[in-house]
Chain A
């Protein structure tokens, strides 16, 4: 059983891209982004993902990332597929209580 910590939608910032020629077929035709994990206050935690882009995000965007296989396979519509991290939204605004 996974804990809530392990199955989550994370906030991240796109900080780069990855180019790969030889890769699993699930990644073919999909953009790979480097996404740094952020706290809800916008501070980087040091953790990062190589994530598949599903929303045409670009470098500098604040995004939502899933890091869980079953959801990721539903997003890309391929099962089975060795994929976990997918960018599923571009964040416009985060309001936090002061």
Chain B
């Protein structure tokens, strides 16, 4: 029990910077939602259920275009396909006995950032850690969207600009320490930076959504890395510490 409580508290703690960053991004998302004709409640609902920045921008574009529902389904599938990969990766961090209810809830809460911080944890993943992060980050995202619809441009541009890099700061905090101790991961990270930069500059990829680019690059680079540098058993298995097996059932 105590361990779950600790995990939950840690989740909230790590969720605070995410929530702050989310609030600013969601606020600007709300401005787009308003253009698409959503009221604050609809904006809140959309953000609470979807909580995906690129996905929701795409969603509001579809609403604005008054496109068929099937187009909505397709657009969301493409823009959010990276969550499928993240969900696969997270499945390997779970204790195999984890209940379906936990799998559904943790899955529902996957965002780039929450995925990022939960991958940064060592050992088997305790769902309560994710719940802690979700408990603070998702309401912030949803309220931010609703407020953006209500209040529009009250946040000064300089504040939005500064807050916009908070999320990337968190990503750096996850990938750099591992790159420091593991040279292969370090090389993979550098290769990813370069490839991503190249793709952003090549006109051929302009029509592709950002999420599609991310998914494509991830499959290619992680695939190459896996073929060239297979991970030894002990590297990707959890540390030998006592797993939190009994607690989260």
- A and B interact: no
Name A's B-contacting residues (CB within 8 A): none
